[in-house]
Amino acid sequence: MAEVQIGRGKTARQAYELDDITIVPSRRTRNADDVDLSWKIDAYKLGLPMIAAGITAPMTTDDAVAAGAAGALAVMNLETLWSEHGDAGALAAALTEARGDHRIAVSVSPKNAEELVPHAVRAEAELIIIRGDVVSAQHVSSVGDTLDLRAFIRSLDTPVIVGACQSYEAGLHLMRTGAAGVLVGNNGGGAGIDVPLATAIADVRAARVRHLDETSVYCHLIAMGSIADGTDVAKAIAIGADAVVVDQSMVTGDDDAAGDLRETMAVCGYTDVKAFQKAEVVVR
């Protein structure tokens, strides 16, 4: 792998954002109506490879219902719901309303997971997302107890997605916790910490291959970060993501992210998301 010399004493890998990548058409094209955009995680099949979250504005109940109707998996912030409702019965009612006739997920930070996730499980949330700017499978602290991700995830019957991570090693260790999926990318962290998203996806894709070889268990890769439109969704999937976290407006507003993804897959000759992960890509 090519490295760039920063100076006499330090080298680094060249890394790429989604904007640096383009998708190569195959030898055939497809009718867009023949493209299947569905994907499956654990026992749940979803109409779009998109997880709708409140990125530019908080996710409302109406947003969640609309996102689910569009085929995406809607995510409600568990900490916000708990602060608004304050008891298990009201939380269950709120999730039932947000679910509508579709699936619903909740997101929670690692520090509040042990306290709040049991309430979400009893409220029958279909998936739990434990998310932070950077989440590791081995958080070391000399002050107080820390969440044992592996033990906690394996204690739940509800599938868990965990992250974010941005490297092969971190992704592999999160997969080994028993998570159904890992978030890959930048969740808004700063402090000079960031890996361009295309490279992060490719690195964690390699970790997924190793994890599959070791355990025969496929762990889903969920990209998040600099996703502006359906073209970015297509690039993320072509590099190796199973699904992408997007703002709810991309599936419920005027932006036709699903249509853009469908058109890209059709022009490149792919009929389903899993096959599209094998598409050839090039660097600009």
Q: Is the pLDDT of residue 144 over 90?
A: no
Number of independent structural domains in the chain? 1
Residue 106 lies in a domain: yes
Residue 5 lies in a domain: no
Tell me: the pLDDT tens digits for 54-82? 888 889 999 999 999 999 999 999 999 99
Overall size of the chain counted in residues: 284
Tell me: the pLDDT tens digits for 98-118? 999 999 999 999 999 999 999
Residue 268 lies in a domain: yes
Query: Can you tell me whether residue 233 is helix, strand or coil?
Result: helix
**Distance between CA atoms of residues 127 and 245, nearest Å:** 14
Residue 8 lies in a domain: no
Contact 62, 85 (CB under 8 A): no
How many CB atoms are closer than 10 A to CB 38?
13
Q: Which domain holds residue 116?
A: 17-283
The residue behind tokens 């049991």 is 118
Per the structure block, which two tokens stand in for 77?
């912030």
User: Residue 73 to residues 8, 20, 139, 177, 232: CA-CA distances in angstroms?
Assistant: 48, 28, 29, 23, 18
Angle, helices 110-122 vs 78-85, to 10°: value is 70
Residue 216 lies in a domain: yes
Name the pTM for this structure. Answer: 0.92
**Distance between CA atoms of residues 23 and 270, nearest Å:** 12
Q: What is the CATH number of the domain that holds 121?
A: 3.20.20.70
Q: Is the pLDDT of residue 139 over 70?
A: no
Contact 250, 191 (CB under 8 A): no
Tell me: the pLDDT tens digits for 247-276? 999 998 878 899 999 999 999 999 999 999
